[in-house]
Chains A and B, each alone.
Chain A
Amino acid sequence: MGAASTTSAASAPRVPGEHFAIATVFLVAGALGLVWIAPDLAAGNFLAPRVGAVTHLFTLGWLTITIFGALTQLIPTSLGTPICSARLARLAAWALALGVVALDTGIVAQATGPLAAGVLLVIAGVLMAVGNFAVTLRRARTRDVTWAAIAIAIAYLVIVLGFGAVLAHNLHTGFVAAHRVRLTAAHLHLALIGWVFLVIVGVSTRLLPMFLMAHRVEHTANRVAVALLAVGVALLATGLALSRPVITWPGAVLVYAGFIAFIVQVVAFYRGRTRRKVDAGMAFARMGVIFLAAGAVLGGVLLVAGHTRGRLATAYIVTVLLGGLVLFVTGFSYKIIPLLAWTARFSGRSGPGPMPMAGDLFSARVALVHGTLTAVAVLGMLVGIAAASASIVADGAVLYACAILIYAWQVARIRWGTPTPRAALPTSPQP
C-alpha cells in the first residue's frame, strides 16, 4: 500500500498575480506614452502635464501596483504573517488602477472632475494598501531589515501622496505658483527613493541571496543602506521643498552613502553566489543597478547645476526611472511571476515524470532581446535629450515601447503558454 497522499493544488496566487497583470497594462501604456511625449522630453519640459501623466503610468500604475503585489507575496513568506486582508489588497489595487486612469485623464484633458476623482481614488487605494500592510507588519514575527525598509517605505508613500494631492490641486488653481518646481522635486525624490528604492533595498536583502544562491553572504551593508536612505531622503526632500541647500546637501550626501552601501551589498551577493550562471532576471537587476549608478551621477550634477536645467533634469529622471528602476523591477518580475505562475499551474503535479521549471515558462533568449533593447532605447533617449532632438528621443521611445511589448508577451506566455516539460533530472545517490 502506498503512503497516504494529500495532494491538492496549491492555492492559486491570485492576489499578487492580479496585481502584476494590472501593472503590466500600465507599463505598456506608459511605454507607448513615451512616444507621445518625446518632444517634451527633448525640450527638457519635464513639468508639462502630459509628461506628468505618463510618469504616473510608470510610478503609480506600474511600480506601485507591482510593489503592492510583490509585498502580498513576500510578507507572508518572509516575515511569517499572512496579509491582513487579501480582499482589501485587491480592492486597493483596483482603486489605484482606476485612480491612475482618472488622474491621467484629468491631467491631460485639464478636466477638474476626472482629476478630483482620480486623486480621491488614488488616495483611497494607497491608504487601503498602506493600512493593510501596516497592520500586517505589526503582526509580523520577523522584524529584520526587510521589515524595517518596508515599514519606512510605506510611511514615505503616505507623504508622497500628500505632496501629490497638493500638486494635483495646483494644476487647476496654481496656488503654489513658483514653488511648483521645488515641490515636484521633493515629491519625485520621496517617491523614487523614499518609497520605491527603499522597498528595493529591503526586498533585495531577502530575494537576491535566494535567487543567486548567496545565502552565506552577510547583509550588513543593506542595513546601513536602509538607515542612511531613510534619513537622507527626508533631509533631501525637505531641503528641496524649502530650497535650503544647507539641508539639501547633507541629505544628498546621506542618500549617496546609502546608495553606495546598497551597491556594496549587491556586489557582495553577486560575487558570493553559488549559481555561476547569471540568469535573465538577475542580469536585468544588474543592468538596472548600473543605470541607477549613472542616474546618481546625473543627480549630483543636477544638484550642482540647479534643477532649472530642464534637459539635465529630464535625462536624470529618464535614467533613474526608465533605466534603473524599470530594469531592476523587471528583473525581479522575471523571477517572481514565473514562480507564481508555476505554483498556480504545476505545483499539484509533483511526483515522478518530467516537469517544467519556473524558468521554462518564458524564453531567456527573448528576455535578452528585451533587456538589450531597453538599454539601447534609454541610451537613445538620453542622446536625443542631450541633442535636444525630438526625432531621436522618439526613436528611442519607439524602441523602448517595443521592448516593453516583448516583456508583456513574455508575461502572457508565462501565464498561458505551454512549456516543454523537462526530462527527469539526474539525481544524486542518497546520502
Chain B
Amino acid sequence: MSEAQDPRLDPLWKALSTVIDPEIGLDIVTLGLVYSVTIEGDIGHVTHTLTTPGCPMEHYITQGIHDAASFVDGLDHIETHLVWDPAWHSGMIAPGAF
C-alpha cells in the first residue's frame, strides 16, 4: 500500500492536530512543526521540529505526539524524529492562524 493511500494517515494527522503548544495556543500542525508523517507497517513515523532549540515544551510535545497517536487505530507505535533542519520560522504557520 502506498503512503498516500494509507487510510491511517488522515486520522494520524488529525490526532497530531490535537497536540497544542500551551504557550502559543495553537496546535503543532497549524504551527508547521510537523514536517512529515509516514507509516511503515504498524509503525508511524513523525518528523517534527520545535519553535526553537531548547524549547521548554520539548518533552511535552514529544509525549503529546505519542499520546495523540495512541488514539489512531491500526498503529502499533509511533517513532518521533526531532530535526532542526530546516529550522522552523513563523512563515511555516498556517495562514490566518494569528
A binds B: yes
Contact A427 B29 (CB under 8 A): yes
Contact A7 B67 (CB under 8 A): yes
> B residues within 8 Å of A by Cβ?
9-10, 13-15, 17-20, 22-27, 29-30, 34, 37, 44, 51-60, 63-64, 66-78, 88-90, 93-94, 97-98
Quick one: which of A275, A339, A356, A357 contacts B56, CB cutoff 8 A?
A: A339
Bitwise, A406-431 to B at CB < 8 A (1) or not (0) is 00000000000000001011011011
Output the nearest chain B residue to A79 by Cβ-Cβ distance.
Answer: B54
Output the nearest chain B residue to A340 by Cβ-Cβ distance.
Answer: B56
Binding-face segment, A43-51, A193-201, A347-355: A347-355
- For the complex, give the distance between the alpha carbons of A6 and B64 in Å: 10
Contact A4 B77 (CB under 8 A): yes
Residues of B within 8 A of A10 (CB): 59-60, 63
- For the complex, give the distance between the alpha carbons of A244 and B90 in Å: 50
Provide 24 A-B residue pairs closer than 8 Å at the C-beta atoms, listed in order of the A residue: A6-B66, A7-B70, A10-B60, A73-B56, A78-B53, A142-B54, A206-B52, A215-B90, A274-B90, A275-B98, A339-B22, A343-B57, A347-B22, A351-B67, A352-B18, A356-B22, A358-B22, A422-B25, A425-B26, A427-B17, A428-B94, A428-B97, A431-B29, A431-B34
Contact A77 B54 (CB under 8 A): yes
Q: Is A131 an interface residue (CB 8 A)?
A: no
- For the complex, give the distance between the alpha carbons of A422 and B18 in Å: 12
Contact A357 B22 (CB under 8 A): yes
Output the nearest chain B residue to A275 by Cβ-Cβ distance.
Answer: B98
Bitwise, A331-367 to B at CB < 8 A (1) or not (0) is 0000100010011001100111101111100000000
The prevalent SS among residues of A at the interface is loop
- For the complex, give the distance between the alpha carbons of A353 and B20 in Å: 11
Contacts known (A3-B44, A4-B70, A342-B22); A276 close to B98, Cβ less than 8 A: yes
Quick one: which of A73, A142, A357 contacts B25, CB cutoff 8 A?
A: A357
Contact A5 B66 (CB under 8 A): yes
Output the nearest chain A residue to B44 by Cβ-Cβ distance.
Answer: A3
Q: Is A80 an interface residue (CB 8 A)?
A: yes
Contact B30 A3 (CB under 8 A): no
- For the complex, give the distance between the alpha carbons of A156 and B88 in Å: 36
Contact A77 B70 (CB under 8 A): no
How many interface residues does chain A have, given as a range?
35 or more
Residues of B within 8 A of A274 (CB): 90, 93, 98
Contact B24 A1 (CB under 8 A): no
Contacts A78-B53, A343-B57, A425-B26 supplied; 14 other A-B pairs, CB < 8 Å:
A2-B70, A3-B78, A6-B66, A210-B51, A275-B98, A277-B98, A339-B56, A347-B59, A351-B68, A357-B20, A359-B23, A425-B27, A427-B30, A430-B14
Residues of B within 8 A of A427 (CB): 14, 17-18, 27, 29-30
Contact B55 A210 (CB under 8 A): yes
- For the complex, give the distance between the alpha carbons of A358 and B69 in Å: 23
CB distance from A17 to the nearest CB of B (A): 13
- For the complex, give the distance between the alpha carbons of A163 and B53 in Å: 38
Contact A215 B58 (CB under 8 A): no
Contact B52 A215 (CB under 8 A): yes
| Nearest 4 Cβ contacts at the A-B interface | A5-B70, A274-B90, A430-B13, A427-B17
